[in-house]
Structures are given as structure tokens and as C-alpha cells.
Homo-oligomer: A and B are copies of this chain.
Amino acid sequence: MRSSTIYDVAQAADVSTSTVSRAFSAPDRVRAATREHVLETARRLGYQPNPHARALVSRRTQTVAMVVSDITNPHFFELIRGAELRAKASGYTLVLVNAEESPRIELEQIQRLTRSVDGFLLAASRQPAENLLQLAATQKVVVVNRRVPGLASVVLEHAEGCRQMVSHLASLGHESVVYLAGPQNSWMAASRWAAIRAAAAELGVHARRMGPFTPTVASGGAAADAALTTDATAAIAHNDLLAIGVLRRLADRGVRVPADVSVVGFDDIFAADLCTPTLTTLGGAHADVGRAAVELLLTSMDQYREQAPQLVVPSELILRRSTGSARTSDLSDR
């Protein structure tokens, strides 16, 4: 039972295929009465345009790809959800691609899809900037939670957020903090460290960086141990997963949080409000980030922009139980 084509509709409506085509994709190029008649016939025949035939000539696939560095990171869920919803609202389909934290896989997957999608959303891309620029020369690209000069981007605000974070710790008496850094090639990791360092300097707090660490719960053990080799009274983990891993390890080692050490994370994932103690973290409307990114991508498809827009979605410091006053005595004296 072959499904009906544009020919069937044309024949049934007694017009040419071009008229049928236009009735759908250029409604004002055909008289209202004719259009109605065609659409009605199409409906009656259950006609649905074949997306591949359409894509073949129009070079529009009505599909966008979202590449995430690690699909298992809960932080991306909201991002994906926002993007999916927004895409659907414009009749676009979202293809999800997992880079598995590997720049090579990321690139391979992108190559593979260049012909089948209209554009890419690159979330937390691990590619060097030049690769991205090169890609953007032939594809529509929006980078998410990363900024690359010349590329459209959406990031969750974090410079000011980091400042607030350090300031929050400073006000609790912390004089030495450690940043447990994310992956080497993560723009976010570098950017956060820069913001933390600047804020620390300004507030007279000593800040150091350790790592890099893979942003997973499993890596939290090593991160916690590293943090404990320092005199820092507060640890800022690259993300909530890492922070939760740190909390676990500290509990195992009998270090009290926040009495002995304060811990903060980034992302405000669902679990941050469940772990013990609950986690102070820099959150924000991740779904909005995803939504905005798709929006940027879609508008960039049908209008040329002199300058690539760089959007910033506000963040919010969520205070929970993992931060408290700095301990006054040395940890080893306890």
C-alpha cells in the first residue's frame, strides 16, 4: 500500500504537481480557492510530503542535531528538553548525538550528519576553537555553554555567578578555596577558573586550582583527596556530579561538611537537592539555554547576521547545606 504522493493529489485535485507543492510551501502563490481545494484533497488522500524528496531539492531537512559531550550527565537533560520543545514548536526534529566525552567521536558524528541536518547545537564542545570555526564555515552552528569569537552562542552566566559564589564563601570566613577543575579541553572549566580567580583576588581570598578531573561522581574521590592535601576550607567542584562524588568521599573519610569543609557545585542538577548534605550550587534555567540555542539556530537559517549573537542566560546561586562557616582550627588538629 504505497502512500500517496504529490502526483496522486495533483491528479485528484485536477491541478499540476507544482500547484500542490505551492499550496503547501508557498500558500500566497496560489489562489485561495485553489489552495483550499488542494489542501482538502490532500487531507482526503492522507497525503504527507516525503521529507527526503523535499530535502533533496530544497536542501532543508527540518532537522537539527544537538551534540552533547556526555549524554549521561543529568545537567544536559534540561538543556535537551528545552531544545527539543523549541525545535518541535517550529516543526523541527531534534537529533541527539552523544560525544562520549571524546573530541574524536564528536567530530566523526558531526561529519556523518552534515548532510542530514540543517544545523548543529554544540553543547560543551571539546573541540578546539579552530575546528569549530572551520565547521561553521560550511554549517550553521550554535555553541552552547561555550563562547567562540565569531560564532553564535548561548551560555549560562557564570562569571558573576562565580563571583557570588566566592563572595558567599568569603562572607562565611573562608580564606582559602580550591577549584576542582573540569576537563582540560573544556572551555567552561577554564572560564570558571578565571572568574573564580579574579573574584578571589578581589576579595582577598586565596584560590588554587587542582585537576583536571572528569566531571563524574566517580572522579569525586580523587578530587576530594586532592582538596584535602591543601589548607583550603572550601572546595568548588566543576559540576554537581563531581561535587557529589566529593561529598561521598569526604563522608567516607570522616570529614564533616560543611563544618570542616564547604563544598559547592555547578548546574543545580536534580540530585543536588537530594544528596547529604544538600548541595550549594550555581543553577539557572538550563531549559532556557536549550530553547534560546535552537531559536538562534533557526533564525540564523533564514536571515543573515552581520555579527554572531552571543546570548547569556542568567544564573542563580542556590544556597543549600553544603556550605557554612569556615573551620577555625586546622583539620589535622581535630
Contact = CB atoms under 8 A, between A and B. Distances in A.
A244 B94 CA distance: 30
Nearest to A272: B274
Contacts of A48: 111, 114-115
B98 A51 contact: no
A84 interface: yes
Can you tell how many copies of this chain the complex includes? 2
Interface string A88-115: 1000011111100000000001011111
A78 B3 CA distance: 36
A112 B87 CA distance: 13
A234 to B, nearest CB: 21
B77 A81 contact: no
Contacts of A111: 48
A50 B111 CA distance: 12
Interface in A140-177: none
Given A50-B56, A52-B52, A276-B274, A96 B84 contact: yes
Contacts of A275: 274
A195 to B, nearest CB: 28
A118 to B, nearest CB: 12
A98 B72 contact: no
Q: Size range of the interface on A?
A: 35 or more
Contacts of A49: 115
Contact of A244 (B1, B53, B74, B274): B274
Nearest to A77: B72
A181 B270 CA distance: 23
A325 interface: no
A71 interface: yes
A236 interface: no
Contacts of A109: 88
A237 to B, nearest CB: 15
Interface of A: 1, 3, 48-53, 55-56, 61, 63, 71-72, 74, 77-78, 80-81, 84-85, 88, 93-98, 109, 111-116, 138, 244, 270-271, 274-276
Given A71-B84, A88-B109, A93-B97, 18 more contacts: A48-B111, A48-B114, A50-B56, A50-B115, A51-B115, A51-B116, A52-B53, A52-B61, A52-B116, A56-B56, A71-B80, A80-B96, A84-B96, A84-B98, A85-B98, A94-B96, A95-B96, A271-B271
29 contacts: A3-B115, A48-B115, A50-B56, A51-B115, A51-B116, A52-B53, A52-B55, A52-B61, A52-B116, A56-B56, A71-B80, A71-B81, A71-B84, A72-B77, A72-B81, A74-B74, A74-B270, A77-B77, A80-B96, A84-B96, A84-B98, A93-B95, A93-B116, A94-B95, A95-B95, A95-B96, A270-B271, A271-B274, A274-B275
